[in-house]
Amino acid sequence: MAEIIPFKGILYNPEKVDASSTMAPPYDIVTHDLKDVLYNRSPHNIIRIDFGRDMDGDNEHENRYTRAAAYLSDWLRQGVLISDTEPAFYCYEITYEISGRTKKTRGFLGAVRIEEPETGRIHPHEMTYSKPKSDRLNILRYCKANTSPIFSLYSSSERLASSILEETVRDKPFIEASNGDGFIHRLWRISDPSSIETIKREISDKDIFIADGHHRYETAFSFMKEMEARGLSRTGREPFNYVLMFLSNMEDDGLTLLPTHRIVEIDSDINPRETLGRYFDVQRISADGTSEERIRRRMFEIMQDNTHSFGMFLTNADTYYTLLLKSPDIIDVDLPECLKDLDVSVLHKFIFEKLLRVNHYEYEMDPDIAVERAKKGSFEAVFFLNPTRIHDVRKVALAGHRMPPKSTYFYPKLLTGMVIYRF
């Protein structure tokens, strides 16, 4: 069973600081330039703890992890951060706009008991890299805290927790922050015993699907094992046996999935149009006097209306194409059915590995930036994807399999610093 408990959260003190200046996006989308912006935004921005700067002369005793721990202690002592006196869940809502429509992502933050990945009720769905896990592990070792929540999903048609959240957001939030993107992030405490017990009971028999934060979850598991090896886990209920998690009900209409596109290098002896044309209907997208933005919009419209369809931009031709699979039966890759049906698997295993023999590609969310990077760099193509569907995420996770990295991009991102779970 999935176990979730309330905790005494550490929060920014609204009487001391402006939340909009102290929050930060998740570390994995913070660029070097954005880090500078966040540092300059406030001397108390959470970036100093969660993803601080390396400095000249750093060593084993003085580095960004020791500084992170010092900031956390100092800000608590100064009252910039305050610790709640009673355990609570925390309702978190994001109001945002996408495609001209206003939406709300809503869920709650709690401490979820850690399970070994792929053995219980908590299901990952993407592969991970080792370098980010090393960085996240050092944050845990030095700060003894989760500063950034894992974004997770569950499914409940009863919507008991969802109903509690709907009531909660009628009150004034404890924290309200805007991080410069026009989105509004709000946080409320849920501390009454009845609501806490209802939430715990509803989640207890539910599967939990990690949407965003696979590195953080695997790191939390590694840290728990370190504590066990040191003989510090005597009951299995110690705080480090739990991890900070945001949980949102899939049955609520607030989630958005976006695709991450691939910028690709292709060997000069391979003709992409000719090679792909044996398996895909390759259609050139063009119109005299039409802007590149409108051509690309037309490309996405065609993609969205077709299964196993992709967009392609070739730099040498300065031209956009759509790739429409002629027949799913021609996909000859050794994958389980739940993965074989995914566009991202077809792209990686069939197009990249089998047909084009791609050895290097990079990721980019923004189609404009992807094309510009391709034109300015040593890339031959950009491949565009449709979003992965949320029910496919659940199907792959329940089957115990993993999608390629960057298969899903849940939007919008949670802010780091809304609440901290300290061990």
The domains located in the chain, with CATH, are 4-255+410-422 (no CATH), 260-386 (3.30.1760)
For position 124, what pLDDT does the model report?
83
DSSP for residue 356: S
Q: What is the pLDDT, as a whole number, of residue 403? A: 85
* pTM of the predicted structure, to 2 decimals: 0.89
CB 240 within 8 A of CB 223: yes
Residue at token pair 């070739």: 314
Dmax (CA) of the chain? 72
Q: Rounded to an integer, what is the distance from CA 404 to the centroid of its chain?
A: 14
Position 299 scores a pLDDT of 95
Under DSSP, is residue 142 helix (H, G, I), strand (E, B) or coil?
helix
**In 18-129, alpha helices (H):** 19-22, 32-41, 47-50, 64-78
pLDDT tens by residue, 237-272:
999 999 999 999 999 988 899 999 999 999 989 999
Q: In the chain, which stretches have pLDDT less than 70?
A: 1, 118, 127-132, 287-289
229 by Cβ neighbours in 10 Å (0-12 / 13-18 / 19+) ranks as: exposed
Residue type, 113: R
CA-CA distance, 256 to 252, in Å (whole number)?
11
pLDDT at 129: 59
